[in-house]
Every structure is written in structure tokens, then in C-alpha cells.
Amino acid sequence: MMRYAITGATGKLGHGILTELMTLVAAKDIIAIVRNVEKAQTILPAGIEIRQGDYTQASAMTTALTDVDRLLFVSSQPGGAVSREQQHLNVVQAAKNAGIQWIGYTSFPDANHATTPLALDHQATEAAILAAGLPHSFLRNNWYLENELG
């Protein structure tokens, strides 16, 4: 049995990916990693496991990722009390500690060559994933159109 987890599962991207994943694998094989379990219980589909995991708490994130085979790591928003870079490093360390077999990371377009300051946290995260030796895919999609709708 393969277990899949998605971080940020209550956000627009995470929720959309979770919904699509449910068309491909059984709900019992999907784990939603969220900060707010109560919120998740009201908006996420029934049948999936919901686990509390906060990017700012590395040990709790390790616990949340226990028995997960494949992880989709949705990048966090910058500007929090804990830097996005540190949040991401916490998740990467937790993934390594939990024995994740593969990690997909929502990075930045052309992150390994980008010179914009917006790419720096993503470059650090990709470097940490590489240094951790985790099999991975870096998802370097362009800016999401929904960010421009406002």
C-alpha cells in the first residue's frame, strides 16, 4: 500500500490537488497535512486522514509524516513570524526523518537560474532536498493565474 500526503491541503492549490488525487487512488491512502484540523474537517472530503502539521514545528511535522511514502510539499507564504526558508527547511528535515520515499515540491519557475529575490527561499529549499538525498520532483510552474484575478 502506498500512502500519499499533501501539505497545505486546506489551501486552494493543496485542496485542488487532493481532490484530483482522490480520482486516482483510494481515499484511505491519502493524508491531508494541515495546520487547523477543525477547519480541515469542515472542508475536506470524507474518507481521507487529516493530520496536524505546521511548517514552524519540525518535530510535529515529522510525526505528521510518519508512514507516508510520497509527499507533495506545497510551499508556504513568505512574511510569517518564522521565515519561509526556515519553515521549508523544517519540512525537508521532517521528510527525511520520517523516511519519505519521494517528495514533490512546488518551487519557483527556473529556480536554479532565477535571480529575483522571490526565488531565494525556493533555491534554499531545493538545495536542502538535494542535500537530504530525497528522491524528488521540483514543480517549477509559472505564477498561478488566480493570483492575478484580484
Superfamily for domain range 4-116+125-142 = NAD(P)-binding Rossmann-like Domain (3.40.50.720)
Q: Which residue has the higher pLDDT, 141 or 98?
A: 98
Q: What is the pLDDT of residue 109?
A: 85
For 67, left (φ over 0), alpha (ψ -120 to 50), or beta?
Answer: left
The whole-number average pLDDT for the span 97-114 is 93
Q: What is the pLDDT of residue 14?
A: 92
pLDDT over 70, % of the chain = 95
Q: Which residue has the higher pLDDT, 78 or 135?
A: 135
What does the domain layout of the chain look like in residue ranges?
Answer: 4-116+125-142
